[in-house]
């Protein structure tokens, strides 16, 4: 996208849409769903294959129902993410409520750093935008920079509006080294992406398939003595989400290798099976085969 086209799309199309009231946005979402599913067929082959391999016991009709629900939810996610560019502090707190923040407040009082592992489930953009101002910890999130520099800056600005500190994956270890002995930090890490190098990944069974996981979060937790939790985002109703934190380990150095990643996979599979349509099935999660 050219340097001229990106700002044009942002200021002429995206920002005006983000200022629309929610009831209008969800009307737009209904149209987006029809376009994505029936006209464009956005990544339909990937979605179908992922669902079929993950739930081999389901019938074609059952898989089809999940598939359609996924695209409806994905359309909602797109308009909600657009809304997050201009959403108010009041609205984001109401639409991304924390169920048990006291578990994190306890670790803050103890001066402990915490890593919260998450997945691309429900609306992770609301999570990125809305969690920091509800925390006592200094809150950071690791991300992969977008290739489009203009929209990379736009997304960073949106996620940092309410106190979140965004760091690229390469910046995270450097931040931890420089933050030793300073204020307690809460680190949000999406850990369900396909690993870059399958040979160095940790492998287990997830959703009925051999699945590789990046080891970075577990290594950082051991090296910098960080508590690890799982952050689950559930949809209460359209546009409203609740975040619940689940314990993984208070001291990862005492656990066997891969324990953190196994528990993360276990929790994530649990919530996906509750409502399969809310996970990002269009993502090529299993593009690598397990290495012998």
Tell me the three-class secondary structure of 172-188, residue by residue: HHHHHHHCCCCCCEEEE
Distance CA 182, CA 184 (A): 7
Say if residues 246 and 207 touch (Cβ distance below 8 Å).
no
* Per-residue tens of pLDDT for the chain, all 292 residues: 567 899 999 999 999 999 999 999 999 999 999 999 999 999 999 999 999 999 999 999 999 999 999 999 999 999 999 999 999 999 999 999 999 999 999 999 999 999 999 999 999 989 888 899 899 999 999 888 888 999 999 988 888 998 899 998 889 889 988 887 789 999 999 999 888 899 999 999 999 999 999 999 999 999 999 999 999 999 999 999 999 999 999 999 999 999 999 999 999 999 999 999 999 999 999 999 887 6
What ranges do the domains of the chain cover?
Answer: 5-278
- pTM (2 d.p.): 0.93
Say if residues 75 and 82 touch (Cβ distance below 8 Å).
no
* pLDDT on residue 292: 63
167 φ/ψ angles, rounded to the nearest 5 degrees? -130, 140
SS3 of residue 166 by DSSP: strand
* pLDDT on residue 196: 86
First to last CA, the chain: 40
Distance CA 6, CA 119 (A): 28
* pLDDT on residue 102: 96
DSSP class of residue 279?
B
Say if residues 214 and 201 touch (Cβ distance below 8 Å).
yes
227 φ/ψ angles, rounded to the nearest 5 degrees? -70, 145
* pLDDT on residue 26: 98
> pLDDT per residue over 111-139, tens digit each?
999 999 999 999 998 988 889 989 999 99
Q: Order of strands, edge to edge, in the sheet holding 227-237?
A: 96-98, 240-249, 227-237, 114-118, 185-190, 138-143, 165-168
């Amino acid at each position: 996208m050219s340097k001229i086209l990106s700002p044009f799309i942002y200021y002429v199309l995206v920002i005006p849409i983000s200022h629309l009231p929610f009831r209008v946005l969800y009307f737009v979402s209904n149209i987006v769903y029809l376009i994505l599913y029936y006209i464009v067929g956005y990544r339909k082959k990937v979605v179908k294959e992922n669902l079929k391999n993950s739930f081999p016991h389901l019938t074609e009709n059952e898989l089809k129902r999940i598939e359609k629900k996924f695209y409806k939810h994905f359309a909602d996610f797109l308009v909600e993410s657009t809304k997050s560019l201009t959403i108010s502090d009041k609205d984001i707190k109401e639409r991304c409520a924390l169920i048990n923040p006291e578990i994190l407040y306890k670790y803050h009082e103890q001066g402990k750093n915490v890593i919260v592992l998450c997945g691309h489930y429900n609306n992770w953009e609301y999570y990125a935008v809305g969690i920091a101002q509800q925390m006592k910890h200094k809150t950071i999130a690791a991300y992969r920079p977008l290739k489009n520099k203009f929209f990379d800056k736009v997304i960073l600005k949106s996620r940092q509006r309410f106190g979140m500190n965004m760091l690229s994956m390469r910046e995270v270890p450097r931040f931890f080294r420089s933050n030793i002995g300073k204020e307690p930090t809460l680190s949000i890490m999406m850990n369900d992406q396909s690993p870059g190098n399958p040979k160095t990944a940790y492998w287990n069974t997830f959703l009925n398939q051999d699945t590789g996981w990046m080891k970075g979060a577990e290594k950082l937790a051991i090296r910098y003595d960080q508590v690890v939790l799982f952050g689950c985002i559930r949809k209460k109703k359209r546009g409203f989400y609740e975040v619940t934190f689940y314990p993984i380990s208070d001291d990862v150095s005492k656990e066997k290798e891969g324990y953190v990643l196994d528990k993360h996979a276990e929790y994530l599979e649990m919530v996906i099976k509750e409502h399969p349509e809310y996970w990002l099935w269009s993502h090529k999660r299993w593009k690598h085969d397990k290495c012998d």
